[in-house]
Amino acid sequence: MTTHTLTGASAAPSAQKLVLTGTVTAISQVHARPPSRRNWAVTIRVEKVKAGKFSQPEFTFTIHSPARAGLAVGRRCTIEATWTGQGYVVDETRPIKDEGTAR
C-alpha cells in the first residue's frame, strides 16, 4: 500500500476514495522501509477528479514496478486511492487504467 499524505490538511477528507486521471510527470527511485518493496515514486499531474475531492495539482504514490503497471512519463492513467486515516493509499494489485499518451 502507498500513502499520499495531504500537507496542510487538519482533518480527514470527506471522501474515503479518490479516482484521479492525470499524466505521469515523474518516476523516481525511493528507498522504502522493509518489508515494503515499493521503491518507485510516481507523480501524476491531476487533470480530472472522477470521484472524491482532491484540490492539489499533483498526486504522488509509490509502487513496486512502474513498468509492470504500464506507467511511463507522458502516459495518462486513472488511479484509485483510499483514505487510511493518515493519507491516501494506491493499491497496485488493482489495475491502473492506461489512458494513452498525453497530448
pLDDT tens-place string over residues 4-51: 544 333 345 556 899 999 999 999 998 878 777 788 999 999 999 999
CATH number of the domain that residue 45 is part of: 2.40.50
Comparing 74 with 91, which gets the higher pLDDT?
74
88 Cβ contact list (under 8 Å, min separation 6)? 3, 4, 6, 18, 59, 61, 81, 82
20 touches 44 (CB < 8 A):
yes
Question: Domain total for the chain?
Answer: 1
Give me the domain span that covers residue 35. Answer: 3-101
